[in-house]
Amino acid sequence: MTGQRDRWAELTGGQAGEEYARRFARLAASGHDVHGEASFCAALLTPASRVLDAGCGTGRIAIRLAELGHHCTGVDVDSSMLAVARREAPAQDWLLGDLARLDDLGLEPGFDLVLAAGNVIPLLAPGTGATVVGQLAAALRPGGLLVTGMGLDAAHLPLDEAPLTIAEFDQWCAGAGLTPRERWATWSGDPYHDGGGYAVSVHTRPAG
């Protein structure tokens, strides 16, 4: 671990797993599409791709992607969240670890897609964003995709204010050797516009 507490842990005390899972169960029961992130990623993938769900939480996205035929590894630093993932999908790979030290986990690199959904990036520990993006980029194969979804204002975050701008995030990606490919306002592909408060971004690790 980096020694610094991530913002998610500051908010939840590391005890939010069951309540987080109940929240999504309620949304699904009331008819909401809770698979937007997985559907978005699946549309970018060829069959049986390797996916790293970075900050996988309760595993809700990696479980859906596995149902769609992909090989998913989930990493999260919150054991209460991972406990839900392990219970719901015991046969899948779930690793307790800090994304700022992803290389410590000994993962086989060459993932086709690395996902950081559900505000993982803004909820990292302060000062670790560029390091984490570098670690996520290093896990990709040449030509692989980094997919992120993040709030950019208080209305789209569980925080009083956004800890980063989209320009800062793009700088971290450029510093990690990633190229911007597409950006949307939602997981269902609404057009992105500055000031909209949310960004779904796809960056690629150049091939060759």
Ligand X SMILES: C[S@@+](CC[C@H](N)C(=O)[O-])C[C@H]1O[C@@H](n2cnc3c(N)ncnc32)[C@H](O)[C@@H]1O
Per CB under 6 A, residues contacting ligand X are: 6, 8, 55-57, 60-61, 75-78, 81, 98-100, 117-120, 123-124
Nearer to ligand X, 124 or 140 (CB): 124
Task: Pick between residue 21 and residue 178 the one whose CB is nearest to ligand X.
Answer: 21
Tell the smallest beta-carbon distance from residue 12 to ligand X (Å). Answer: 8
Backbone angles phi, psi at 149, to 5 degrees: -135, 130
Q: Shortest distance, CB of residue 206 to ligand X, whole angstroms?
A: 26
Instruction: Kindly state the smallest distance separating residue 101's Cβ from ligand X, in Å.
Output: 8
Exposure letters 180-193 (e unless 16+ CB within 10 A, then b): eeebbeebeeeebe
How many whole angstroms separate alpha carbon 28 and alpha carbon 26?
5
β-partners of residue 150 are 199
**Nearer to ligand X (CB atom), residue 123 or residue 140:** 123
Output the smallest distance, CB 104 to ligand X, in A: 11
Q: Say how far residue 178 (Cα) sits from the centre of its chain.
A: 16
- Least separation, in Å, of the C-beta of 34 and ligand X? 9
Q: Given the complex with ligand X, which of 129 and 144 has the nearer CB atom? A: 129
Nearer to ligand X, 78 or 112 (CB): 78
- Nearest residue to ligand X, using CB? 118
